[in-house]
Copies of this chain bind each other. A is one copy, B any other.
Amino acid sequence: MSDEKTEYTISDLAKEFEITSRSIRHYEDEKLITPLRRGVHRIYNTRDRVRLQLILRGKRLGFSLAEIKEIIDLYGVEGEQKQTERLLELIRLRRDSLKQQLKDIKYLLNEFDVLEEKLTANHQPNNLTS
């Protein structure tokens, strides 16, 4: 019924997310994903795919693989008091830095707009003055 693929090879995912297979294997070495095996080959399912998305999002935001692992691991648990505390702590810590990043980005995007306008303005003025 569904159009969605439910199984992927390593190069399927590599292509889709525009990363190398080496990277994906590396995330596995670091225990961030653990795909099933069919014989010796890795088989990724939808859950694995989502995890990979999470990893890449985390990376784009400047988290280290270790931090991403910690968050992913804690995220799945929910129940244990200590781990909940820890997750909340990580969230609060990160929230400030993320809010700072947000400011930075807005600032920079605006700078870019201004600058681009300035640059493109005197970029083609020749058909008026020549």
Contacts and interface: CB of A to CB of B under 8 A. Distances in A.
A7 interface: no
A108 B61 contact: yes
Interface in A41-76: 57, 60-62, 75
A101 interface: yes
A80 B88 CA distance: 51
A1 interface: no
A120 B92 CA distance: 13
A60 to B, nearest CB: 5
Given A115-B91, A116-B91, A105 B61 contact: yes
Contacts of A78: 119
A95 B97 CA distance: 20
Nearest to A57: B104
A60 B100 contact: yes
Contacts of A9: none
A17 interface: no
Nearest to A120: B88
